[in-house]
Amino acid sequence: MTVYDIAIVGGGLTGAALAGLLKARGNSIVHFAPAMEKDYRTSALMMPTVEFLKETGLCPDPDSLGYPLRQIRIIDATKRLLRGPEALFDSREAGHPQFGYNFPNADLLPRFQAFADDQPGEITKVEARVGLIDRQADGVFVITDAHQNEHRARLLVGADGKKSVVRQQFGFEVDEEQFGQSALVCDFEFERPIGDCSIEFHYENGPFTLVPAHNNKINLVWLDQHKVLNEALALTDEKFEKLLAEKANHLFGHAKLLTKRFVFPLSNLHMRVAGKDGVVLVGEAAHAFPPIGAQGLNLGLRDVKSLIEAIDAIVPEGQAIGRTEADRISASYAAKRTPDLIKTSGFVDGLFKSLLSDFLPAQLLRLSGLWALKSVPPLRKLAFKIGMGR
């Protein structure tokens, strides 16, 4: 039976990107990627991530898929005693023509898959869910799919999302926190376009974010309590459109709904270690947090980049991966990812919870922070650096 260098479990964006890059590198791969429902969400990818997509060939022409994001506008729409100032961040302050691009996930996935198809070499694709994973004495992972077929590999990658089977089966320690908020996403348009500016209206229970897309389309990411969003989900299109205009303070005229509405529960997932004993976790298998600060897929693709770097440093291109190499790769990957995971998750967690807090000192701290971000150039530069993942 063939023993592959690497088994990847999960066919989402991070799993698909990793599979293509490893195939291009010459590794033998078995990829468990069952069919997925269409992902109606979008991902705001910052320029360092976009540069990685261009350099690797995963997406050499971002303008063909993405919409440029040049400004970020934050409006405190709460009714609290202490409210922050309106803040506008322009990419030119950071020395870039834009912060990044807004990509539809449903367009990125086939682009990543096409990249993998175009690379020399072979990937054994298994369009079935994993049933059992077991590690044997010689360091080989035996992965059994839903049809009871066995596949063996030296290095195992879990790219299988928040409920990762790989993470659960190999005892990775994780801190998980469920929130009382969900996220509602949909596409719509206003009478007046919002240009290339992502606009965040900060409310008591989460931000109401308008992200620009092609043809004056707006991608909505609205965070609020489960009950509130489920009620919004049940509204007629006409009433929901009126609610959209109201939540945007009627700044852009009437709204016209373009797609269905979807609601997703929110949670935090923090890992202490993202790799050990020949097993690594990438994407939402290794980290998850509310969609604020545009960090989710950016962080997942940094996982992919770090794993490729760890493999390059230990195994020459075209050489098979053995048990010792797999263990070293997982340890190296974990060491590379820990500082970034701590920094980014702390940034997003603090930002989200400060917005939700009714504790007066916390509101004062947030207010002071917004004023400082608005008026202190060194702090603005630091915020740019963290937000762009540099």
What are the pLDDT digits (tens) for 137-171? 888 888 888 878 899 999 999 999 999 999 999 98
- Tell me the average pLDDT across 284-296: 76
Burial (CB < 10 A; 0-12, 13-18, 19+), residue 280, is buried
pLDDT digits (tens, 9 = 90+) for 8-21: 999 999 999 999 99
Give the angle subtended at the CA of 225 by the CAs of 267 and 341, to the nearest 5°: 25
**Tally of residues, the chain:** 390
pLDDT digits (tens, 9 = 90+) for 200-236: 998 888 889 999 999 899 999 999 999 999 999 999 9
Mapping DSSP onto H, E and C, the string for 11-70 reads CCHHHHHHHHHHHHHCCCEEEECCCCCCCCCEEEEEHHHHHHHHHHCCCCCHHHCCEEEC
**Residue recorded with tokens 């790989």:** 166
For residue 263, give the H/E element and its range: strand 262-271
Amino acid at 166: V
By the 8 A CB rule, do 389 and 48 touch?
Answer: yes
Give the angle subtended at the CA of 353 by the CAs of 273 and 196, to the nearest 5°: 95
**Residue recorded with tokens 């303008």:** 63
Q: What is the reported pTM? A: 0.87
Q: Which sign does the torsion angle of CA 368, 371, 376, 380 carry?
A: positive
Query: What's residue 185's pLDDT?
Result: 94
